Homo-oligomer: A and B are copies of this chain.
Amino acid sequence: MSEPSEADRDPETVSRFVEHFAAHLVEAGLPRMPARVFVALLASDTGVLTSAELGETLKISPAAVSGAVRYLAQQHMVSREREPGSRRERYRVHGDQWYEALANRDAVIRRWEDALREGVTSLGEATPAGRRLAETLAFLEFVEKELEAMMERWRTHREERFGRG
């Protein structure tokens, strides 16, 4: 029998995890292909894969890889690198970068806030509906601030536990 070493990178084991975890992300609202690509990167040993490798392990066309990666890059969940002196593009999931993507939700929150402010104004601050919207707005403003503080605490916590990544 084989040693429990790198040899355990049985493609099937990896694939099982990829599909399983990706399914959860999909359920949470991430499009299918981006989810699969993202998890494949997370589960790779170097955290870097080429487009071709992604296509092969996930059994999808180059076009699908391209689309998924574009999506992920927009969300700042992966970064693209150019291998110098080669046409190969490499995609990387930076350990932290992915947490920071969560902080990126910030942008989303801020747009919600804008919409709510408009609602408070147009419905009237003094109306019950206006007050309800105002409270929701206050909640989001609160969360926004808290998230920032939380990420700061995480960075500290992380260094204690994992050392500088």
Chain A residues with CB under 8 Å of chain B are 4-6, 8-9, 13-14, 16-17, 20-21, 24-25, 27-29, 42-47, 93, 95, 98-99, 102, 108, 111-112, 115-116, 118-119, 122-129, 132-133, 135-136, 138-139, 142-143, 146, 150, 153-154, 157-158, 161-162, 165
The reply to whether B142 and A154 contact each other, CB–CB distance below 8 Å, is yes
Cβ–Cβ contact B29 & A119, under 8 A: no
Within the complex, which residue of B14, B27, B29, B135 is in contact with A162, where a contact is CB–CB below 8 Å?
A: B135
What's the least CB distance linking A149 to chain B, in Å? 9
**B24 near A112: Cβ-Cβ < 8 Å:** yes
Q: Would B153 and A146 count as touching, CB distance under 8 A? A: yes
Chain B positions within 8 Å of A45 at CB level = 127-129
Copies of this protein chain in the complex: 2
Q: A47: which B residues are within 8 A, CB to CB? A: 128, 132
Whole-angstrom CA separation of A119 from B125 in the bound complex: 50
Cβ distance A9 to chain B, nearest Cβ, rounded Å: 7
Give the shortest distance, in Å, between A49 (CB) and chain B (any CB).
12
Chain B hits for A157, CB < 8 A: 142
